[in-house]
Structure formats: C-alpha cells, structure tokens
Structure 1
Amino acid sequence: MNRIARTAAPLLALGLAAGACSPAGSTSGSSEEGKAEITFLTFETPNLDAKYWDGAIARAEKKVPGVSVKKLVAPSTDRTGYAKQLLASGQFPDVMIAVSPSGFAESGNLAAWTDKELAPFTFPHSNPIGGKIYQLPYNTQPTPLVYYSKDKFKKAGVAAPPKTYQELLDDSAKLKKAGINPFVVGGGGKDAFAASFLWTALVGTDVYKKTPDWMVQRRADEAKFADADFKGATDKFVQLVKMGYVDKAGLSRDYAATERAFLGGKGAMYPMGTWFATAADKNAMKDDIGVFPFPTDDGSPAVPSYTGGGMSVNAKSQHVALAKKFALAFQQDRRNLDAVVKSDGAIIAMKGYTPPDDMGPVYTATAKVYDDAVKDKGIVNAFLVETGDDSLLPGMVEKSYAFAQDVIAGRKNADQVTQALDEDKRRGRRAVLDEGAGVGGADPASALFSGHGGTPLLVGWRR
C-alpha cells in the first residue's frame, strides 16, 4: 500500500484527543460518563462511510456494558502503516480492524484469540502467526475474480467467459482487434496495491494451485522466487502487458478512478476483489456485468482467497477484556454483518450466517463463483494478501506493489522482478537476525517491521 507521510501534526492532534496521560502503547482510559473508554482504529471509504461505522459501533457498544468507544479514522487506506505510527508514538489503539497483524503480533503488541472466542467462526485458525490467531477471521474475499462486460465480449465475438488461460489470451486478442481494451487496472497515487491483482491471480493459478505451501517453503529457503513456477507466473504477467492487453493508463488512476474507468466502459475485464460486487450492483451497468475466476492452463479452479480482515486487540491496553468483548460483539452483530455484505460485498465466514435476500445480481454471481470453487476444492491462498506464517516477510509487500507497477510500465521483466524479490528476502532475513527487536521491541522477527507496507485483511478493505 501507499506510504503515509510521517508528519508530526496529525499525531500531535491525535495525542491531544486521546489524552496525554495514557501509557505507552495504549490510548485507553476513562470517559466522562464513568465508562472505560477504548479507542477503535478504523477507516472510511465510499462503501464504508462514517454513517456505517458510527451505527455499527453504537450497536456493539450496547452489548458491552461499561464501555465507551472513541473512533479513530486512518487518514488513508494504509491502516497498517498508520497503526505503526500510532504504536511508535505511544498511541496504539485498543481495537483495530483490517490491520495486518504481521509484526505487531511477533513484537508482543497484539492479544491472541482463544479457541473459545474463535468458536463462532467458520475458519477459526486462518492466518496463524506462530500458531496463534491475532485477527478475527470473519470475512472471506476472493482476490481477484475477473468482472467483465457482457456487451463488450459480445461485440468482440466472445461467446462465453474463458475457461482456460489460452482461451483468455484468445479472447483478449479478439477484444483488442475490436478496439476494446482487454484489462482495466489501477495502481496510481496512494493505491499502488491495485496494480498487483493480475500477478496475484497468476501466482494463484500457476504456483499455489500446484504447491499450496509454496510461500512456507520460500520463507524456509526451500524455494526461490526465481524458480520456474513463480518466474513463469510473473512472466505471464509481463507478457499480458507486452501484448497490449493491460491498460497502462491505469498507473495514473487510484482505486476509485479505476472503478469508474471500468464502469465507464474503458475496458472489458476488471480483475478485482469481491468488494466490487456491491458497487457494481449500485450501478446502471449491473445487468451487463458478469464474473469468472481467473483461468488456469487446464481449466481446473484456482480462486485466490483470504479469510480474515477482522478485529485485533492491543495486548497492552488497560482494558483488554472489554476490548475483546467489544470486538466480538461488533463482529457477531447481524446488522453489522448485513451492512458490510451490502456495502462491501463481503462473504461472511461466520457459522450460521446467510446474506440478505435482496442482494443484487453481481454479488449473487460472485458468491456462486466462490461457492463453486469451494465445492471443487479450488480455493488457494492470495499472493500479497496473506498475513500469517505463510505470508511474505515484513517489508516485501509494498515493494511487490512497486514491482507490479514496474511490470505494467514496462520497466521490469520476470527475471528482474524475481531476482529482486529473492535479494530482498535474503536482506530481510539477515536484518531480522542481525538487528534484533524492531518497533515494539520484544521479538527479533519484528526487526523489519518499520518497513512493512502490510496488507489488511482482507484486501477488500483497501479502498
């Protein structure tokens, strides 16, 4: 994700609001009403605006007597980067949502969730760090699927969505010949992550489908980015650009502008996370939008997905127990869940939950693609989205976004990207061993923490 300017003024203002007497690493205290006040770091987007968060917080507060919640809003989509700033300034929030736990957990700054607390969740042990869970796994988002314009496919003579990668190439050639841009992508400004979705898809189909624990092997130096499978997936990304199938203008567009570009007819296909479904269902174009999983060479399913995105709790908060109760109440509130499904296209990973009956056609089609992949055992990890023991080392996610931008701009090929990733991984491992504790200090694994761009959750919360 994008870097946040490390200016003193926002932190000073936040510090004055939180209270100068709070202990380092925590902003909790007592409210004027005699209730325990906890701070909650969240974010606002066009889909999840202030009204949504205020209502959701109020409902959860009512279920936890004795707690008062102070909302903190991250100034950009990089909530993880902002949380690091708050930690460094002694203002780490009591509760946070969709903040990557990597680094925070290893340095002892997050409270682990117990099996009893995780019992309501469908996949309770998603994204473990050192065998423990530090972020509630309440939301699954395939990232990416491919949304497409049925009308543009028809105009180019494409009868149906591609089932194999070769069919995808053939269809892209038809679209280009018809004067239609095949892929709309983003990646400009603060939203560098949006350049990476084709790469995420290709690593899912060509690497993780074949070797589900590939990233675990890479972290153990039993595999290399420059090995054939990963380099081959990266080269497919490079070749899509070279063939003119990827709109390079996307590098000047932030996330919102990229979404507008697709909905405005600037291209036929849009690789994006499932949160796009609800934005599509609110658009006049909704009946023209279809969705398919990015195809593998042989046509078997491989849908990159991430389950997580929920709340984490500050282990050093004055009110850990109350913070946990609030987080669980927030995540299990039916109206909160319905609201995030309707506003952000979430596929809720909570036992017994069913989405509202009035969801639109794009969300319904999106959920079917995911459900079919689950039935066919076609779910794989999502490269650059993982946040647990099988994720990239701290410091490498943001660099990978930059590499994706370089590929789209034509500045780097597969050899250059994979060699650079291997070198970054080697330097990162050496730094972890040599530098000792990083921000928050208790664990050598956090040595590179200050350079970690991080991913939320859940990629869907990046807008």
Structure 2
Amino acid sequence: MVWCLAATLAAAGCGVGGEKPSETSASGGDVTLTFLVFETPNLDAAFWDAAIARASAKVPGVTIKKLVSPNVDRTGYAKQLDASGNLPDILQSVNPAGFAQAGKLAPFTDEELRNFIAPKAGAIAGKVYQLPYNTQVIPVVYYNKDAFAKAGITGTPRTYPELLDVSAKLKDKGITPFVVGGGGADTWADMYPLTATVATDVYHKTPDWLTQRATGSVKFAGPDFTKAAQKVADLAQKGYIDPAGLSRSYADTEQAFRDGKGAMYPMGSWFATSADNTKPGFEIGAFPWPSDDGSPVTPTFTGGGTLVSSSAPNVGLAKKWALAFDEDKQNNDAFVKADGSIPAIKGYTPPSDMGPVYRATVDIYQKGMADGSIVNAFSQEAGDGSLPPGLADKAALGVQDLITGKKSAADFAAYLDDQWAKATR
C-alpha cells in the first residue's frame, strides 16, 4: 500500500537514539546495513523478517538491521533520522523527494532497472532513486453486490451521471452510497473520491497537469480542478457521503464497509486482498470510477520500492540487496497475498489461487494498460511531476473541510494554491 500506505502503522521500532533495532542476518555478514520498513495489520513484523531473510540469502556478506517507522509518516520519520545523522542505508516506501535533490540517495542504473516494467517511473531529473516495483490502482470502487441488488441496480455505472443515479437509488433505499473515512492520523484515507475526480476531470485531459502547475501555467483555482473538487462537495451535499464517517480511522472505515454501513468504498487496490481474506457476509465487486462520458480513466501509482542511501557503508552491496528484495518471486507473492500488490516486474505472474476481488482489481489495471487510459493518481505522484513535500497531507485536511461544507470547491482550490506557494518558497 502507498506505497501510500493504506493502514494505521504500528507504533513499533526504535526512535531516534532509542532502543536497538531488531536484526535479521545473512550468514557470515561482512557489512551491516540498516533497513527502514513499516508495519501494518497486513504487513506485520513476521512478514518483514521473512522477506528480509529471503533477500539476504541471495546476497552473501550482508547483515540487515531492521528499523520500523513508529508512526504513519514514514517519510517524516526518515527526515528525522537524517537530521540526526542516522539516515538508514536502505528505506522502504519513503518519498525520495528532497532526499534525492540533496544528494542523499544513490540512483539506480538502466541496467539495474532492466527487469522493471516502468523503469523510469518516479524519475527525478531523469534519474530513478526508488525501485518502481509495485503498481496500485487508486482508487477502485469496491461495492456491496447485495446492496446494489436491494436498490434494484443490475449493473455497474459506466458514466458519472450513471454513478449519481446509482447513488440516488441507494439513498432512496436507506443505504449510504459511499463509505469514506479519515479520522485521527488517517486523514489521507479521505482523499480517494477527489483522487478519482482529478483523474477523470483533470489528468485525463492534461496528463502533465502537475508539471504545468509547477511552472505556474495552471492553478488549482482553475476550472478543471475546481470542477473535480465540486463533484466531491456535491456528493457530500446530496448525502451520498456521510461526513460523520470522517471520524473513523482507516481500519474502522474498512470495517464499516464490511459491516454494510455503505454500498461503495473508493479505496486503493491494496484493499482487494483484505476483501478476499475477510469474506464479509456479501459478495464484493469492483469497478473503475467513471468519467462523464464513459471514457476509460485508470489512475495508478507505480513505485514504492526500496531506496538506497548514498552514504551507506557499501552502496553497491546495498543496491544489490535492494534489488534482490524487490525482485524476489517469493517476496512478491507474499506482498500480493498480504497486501494486494500488483508487482511491476517483467514476467511476474501472481499466485493462481488469488481471490475474486483481487482478480477483478487486476483486470481493471490490465484493461487500463491495454486501452492506454493510465494516468497518475492525485496525491500519490512521484518524481518530477509530484506535489511538493507535505502538500498531500494538507490536501487531505482540506478534503475534510470540502466534505463537511466548511470549504467550497473554490475555497479548497484557493487553499491548495496557497499551500503550494508556502511549500515552494
């Protein structure tokens, strides 16, 4: 997950100057490398220990000391460690922005990236600092098939007006159309309706919109982005999104969908495995968020892999280990089974026993690849065409005000322009 990551991270590991990190060793280790990871309900300590051991078995001469981010902001924690002179040697799913420009990270060569489907994903000034090993569709609309049947809905919406019609039918039957959360530290979880509408109304028309925003040729307060924000505000105003749900944590929001407290759950593709594994009392389906005219739009993020510090005691060995970690078939199978990953590794095929929700999710991605409808997922971008550091968090806070009616779409767009200016001074 992000990647993004879609869960509340466990308050484990060691803080700056704290207790000694756990250690997973390769036999006969000649160099010790620290590795910053995160833990979630899907990716627990045992998961990481097993994955580390598999990579270490392929790279003799390495001892890995595992560090665990103690909070949801992995990138912020990495910055804290860096400020104290303790940037880990290898990092998992940390945003490279800022670190790369400051010379803190070692770029990967074209040869080292030869096995990746999108080897230039997330490039910064033409160089790739984070292995682009995983793709996520953000969001997919997961839906309760029983709720749809109860409301007399016989198919999934293909256009945005059809999505509104589906929502109206659900509401008429006393069913909340959308489950959306974002409470506590999980404010990021409220972003996905906006991520969807930015994809259909902004990025579909202007794929390099954020790059243009960086040059000042477009603004959030312009008509396209404001239209995307207005759609989210309208969903809330019509009662299709319940603002009370914003107090729920990510885990509680996911559970609310499983408990039937809403019919549609716009969430990243990492939910697919969870949906298959937990098996609520109804069948879950999946469809892409539709555009106004039904043109296919598939917002994705590719990246999220390991990064290597340019000050690691042995950069070459650290890069070799990072590649072994991200390319290992068993590791990728484990990520698929635990976290719904779609590995962007050439020749990789997921385990044949994956469940129906995961398969439906992968079908959405593969169709997007086939029809050329892939665009970036707003707030998840990486590389040159991405939000300034910290702005995604500000956007998530602003979305709460958009949904509760404290900000109009115009107010929200102006707020993002203001936050952009502050972040880029």
Compute the TM-score of the two structures, normalised by the length of structure 1: 0.86
Residue segments in structure 1 that go unaligned for 5+ positions in a row:
19-27, 432-463
1:293, 1:3 → 2: CA distance?
25
Deviation of residue 421 (structure 1)?
1.2
1:398, 1:187 → 2: CA distance?
11
1:426, 1:206 → 2: CA distance?
23
Maintained 8 Å contact 2:8/2:251:
no
Percent identity between matched residues is 55
**What is the identity, as a one-letter code, of the residue corresponding to 1:88?**
A
- What CA deviation, in whole Å up to 9, does each residue of 1:127-174 have, x standing for no partner? 111111110000000000100001000101111110000000111011
Maintained 8 Å contact 1:287/1:361:
no
Give the match for residue 176 of structure 1: 171
Question: Which residue among 273, 279, 283 is the counterpart of 2:274?
Answer: 279
Residue segments in structure 2 that go unaligned for 5+ positions in a row:
none
2:140, 2:289 → 1: CA distance?
6
Give the match for residue 16 of structure 2: 11
- What CA deviation, in whole Å up to 9, does each residue of 1:80-108 have, x standing for no partner? 11111111111110001111111111111
Give yes or no for the alignment of 1:78 onto 2:73: yes
1:425, 1:348 → 2: CA distance?
32
CA separation of 1:3 and 1:400: change in aligned 2, threshold 3 A: farther
Matches within 5 A, 1:286-325: 288-325=283-320
1:80, 1:426 → 2: CA distance?
21
Maintained 8 Å contact 2:199/2:298:
yes
SS of 1:290 mapped into structure 2: strand
1:351, 1:400 → 2: CA distance?
34
Matches within 5 A, 1:40-439: 40-285=35-280, 288-429=283-424, 431=425
Deviates more, 1:262-271 or 1:417-426: 417-426
Maintained 8 Å contact 2:28/2:60:
no
Deviation of residue 32 (structure 1)?
11
SS of 1:96 mapped into structure 2: strand
Q: What CA RMSD, in Å, does the superposition of the two structures yield over aligned residues?
A: 2.0
CA separation of 1:124 and 1:287: change in aligned 2, threshold 3 A: farther
Maintained 8 Å contact 1:280/1:286:
no
SS of 2:77 mapped into structure 1: helix
Give the match for residue 458 of structure 1: none
Matches within 5 A, 1:22-41: 35-41=30-36
**What is the identity, as a one-letter code, of the residue corresponding to 2:137?**
P
Deviation of residue 304 (structure 1)?
0.7
SS of 1:11 mapped into structure 2: coil
CA separation of 1:334 and 1:3: change in aligned 2, threshold 3 A: closer
Compute the TM-score of the two structures, normalised by the length of structure 2: 0.94
Once superposed, which parts of structure 1, at least 4 consecutive aligned residues long, lie more than 4 Å away? 1-4, 30-34
1:81, 1:241 → 2: CA distance?
31
Deviation of residue 368 (structure 1)?
0.7
CA separation of 1:358 and 1:34: change in aligned 2, threshold 3 A: closer
- What CA deviation, in whole Å up to 9, does each residue of 1:263-318 have, x standing for no partner? 11110000000100000001223861000000000001111100001000011111
Maintained 8 Å contact 1:11/1:86:
yes
Maintained 8 Å contact 1:3/1:81:
no
CA separation of 1:398 and 1:186: change in aligned 2, threshold 3 A: same
SS of 1:364 mapped into structure 2: helix
SS of 2:307 mapped into structure 1: strand
1:31, 1:209 → 2: CA distance?
47
Deviates more, 1:402-411 or 1:330-339: 402-411
CA separation of 1:286 and 1:280: change in aligned 2, threshold 3 A: farther
SS of 1:233 mapped into structure 2: helix
2:369, 2:225 → 1: CA distance?
24
Maintained 8 Å contact 1:3/1:78:
no
2:151, 2:399 → 1: CA distance?
28
